[in-house]
Chain A
Amino acid sequence: MDFIQQAINGLGLGAIYALIALGYTMVYGVLRFINFAHSDVLMLGAFAAFYLAPRMQQVFGQQSVFGVIMLFIAVALICALIGMTIERFAYRPLRHRPKLAVLITAIGVSLFIEFTCQNPHVFGAATRPFPKLVAETQFHLGNAIIGSTDILVIVVTAVLLGAMWFIVQKTRIGTAMRAVSFNQQAALLMGVPVNKIISFTFGLGSSLAAIAGILYSMKAPGIEPLMGVQPGLRAFVAAVLGGIGNLPGAVLGAVLLGLLETFAGGVPGLSNYRDAIAFGILILILLLKPAGLLGRATIEKV
């Protein structure tokens, strides 16, 4: 297969992983635990879009760009609310408990969402076709074919990453987020409303996951309640790969993993082992650099 073609596909996939990985890494940054329910928020985003898209098309007309933008915003808001609700009721009461208790709760929340949605009275376990949101065209670049969906994915991701960078580095709330991440107690003493900041972080991460969910469904248009598990796991590996808690690291890890997955998929016999390869590389990196590629190792003081 063509190298450029593979690189483009890999970038498209990596861009989606990056959006999801940012959520994992931001939550880890402020609360130091892995939000296993993140991948289920992605799935809920895809389902929200599935139900909202026909309404949006009624209001704004078939395949209108404005309608799609409104759909993205609406779904992002819904999932931000879901993320904040999960944090408020499942994680906040455990804020000062051992990390393990929070980790197990997160797994519990994830299973709860997955099995509730699989219930025939909610979404059901069957795969459903995701509606076409925008007209698709293909561009030829030498031998390589670039789908408009891939371009959309990369552009949306780039815009959102820029926005994220701006929020975290340049705004007051971003400064507060970094303060909470650095030292929660000290931030509280300095008058930072820690609960609000953590809630905001969850909202932001969840809305990114929601948009990733729509983009993922546009690329692979079949949605079901367990659809978040695979991309979620990969994004999570990507976040750890780059050094969890580190925003540029998450993006770097995601792009690397996306490229790797696509190239491994092109090699005959290797494609079945894609999950194993992702984890194998993760283990290797963690053994060589226990804090991830861009993470900084901490020394425990006695």
Chain B
Amino acid sequence: MPLPGAKRWLLVGIALAVIATYLAPQFNRYYLGIVIDVGIAIILATSLNLINGHTGQFSLGHAGFMAVGGYFSAWISLEIGSSAHAQWYFPLSLLAGGLLAAVVGLMVGIPSLRLKGDYLAIVTLGFGEIIRVVAQNTEAVGAASGLKGIPQYTNLGWTFGLAAVTIYVITALVNSTYGRGFIAVHDDEIAAESNGVNTTVTKVTAFVTGAFFAGIAGGLYAHHKRFLSPTGFDWLKSIDIVVMVILGGMGNTVGVILAAILLTLMPEFLRDFAEYRMIIYALLIILLMLLRPNGLFSFKKFKRRGTA
């Protein structure tokens, strides 16, 4: 599947976001909420795809980054309070959440220099759990009872605008000369190193960038749901995002976006079978791995554009 140009993604995304914001008041609030969920899922899945798919560093702690960004930006919004100009600080609080998540991403990226495969997966899982436990015990962010009354600033425009930016930045990064290093590290680390790719910088960059966008997604999520609880960021949430990446096909941007849409909508379609929903979800993971291990949307052997 040839990727459309990265800039086109950005323009299409932002145009859609503007149109959608304009039309939003006519939609049912329930459907609107689901569409925003889809946008947030796209940001999460695309950002994890940079770490897991393109760079091949298996991370199981993406919900942790999301939690850091979500809690921090929500905390800022609550501190600012509800003055007349409060919502103009929203993008700043999102950015702050993203930056703090990026700092945490740096901390998680450093172990990735020494650990590989399963061990790295365990450490990232551990990091995610540590973040959750810390949130659960920190009074400033509501401890176990969670953070309530977050102002509702997230709308279609912000969500899809930022989703478009995320896709643009990550696609442009991976397709740049510098970004070829991600794919080189994914394919063979030792070969990449001996060809002059600085694998250390590449791996840490992947973690920091991925974490930054996960943090932004967390901020959007916080200002969308208006409530944050530590249990919402447990490792099941991380698994959800990982499954999106796997389902879409690791490193296949279009596939990952489609998978994010599909997996966010699926629970809504299965609402009538609520008791069986998660059983079906689990079975889907197993069957998918057995039958289509390269992802649902890889119809031919995935070929990257412009590979020499």
Contacts and interface: CB of A to CB of B under 8 A. Distances in A.
A112 B281 CA distance: 8
Contact of B285 (A105, A236, A244, A300): A105
B59 to A, nearest CB: 12
B140 interface: no
B134 interface: yes
Contacts of B126: 237, 279-280, 282-283
Contacts of A155: none
B33 to A, nearest CB: 24
Contacts of B115: 286, 290
A105 B133 contact: no
A302 B134 contact: no
Given A104-B289, A286-B115, A275 B133 contact: yes
A101 B282 contact: no
Interface string B132-149: 011011000000000000
Chain A interface helix/strand/loop/mixed: helix
A287 interface: yes
Given A107-B239, A112-B279, A240-B122, A94 B129 contact: no
Contact of A99 (B117, B134, B190, B283): B117
A94 B290 contact: yes
A101 B289 contact: yes
Contacts of B40: none
Interface stretch (A113-121, A133-141, A187-195): A113-121
B289 A280 contact: no
Contacts of A34: 118, 121-122
A103 interface: yes
A115 B190 contact: no
A279 B130 CA distance: 7
Given A99-B117, A276-B133, A290-B114, A111 B293 contact: no
A34 B118 CA distance: 8
B279 A94 contact: no
Interface of B is mostly: helix
Nearest to B136: A272
B286 A90 contact: yes
A282 B111 CA distance: 12
Given A100-B58, A276-B129, A276-B130, A108 B123 contact: no
A97 interface: yes
Contacts of B243: 104
Interface in B229-261: 236, 239, 242-243, 246
A286 B282 contact: no
B111 A108 contact: no
A99 B122 CA distance: 14
A151 interface: no
Interface in A81-99: 90, 93-94, 97-99
Contacts of B58: 100, 103
Given A34-B118, A102-B289, A104-B243, 18 more contacts: A32-B118, A34-B122, A99-B118, A100-B246, A105-B286, A108-B284, A108-B285, A109-B286, A111-B236, A112-B279, A112-B286, A115-B279, A120-B275, A240-B122, A276-B130, A290-B115, A290-B119, A300-B190
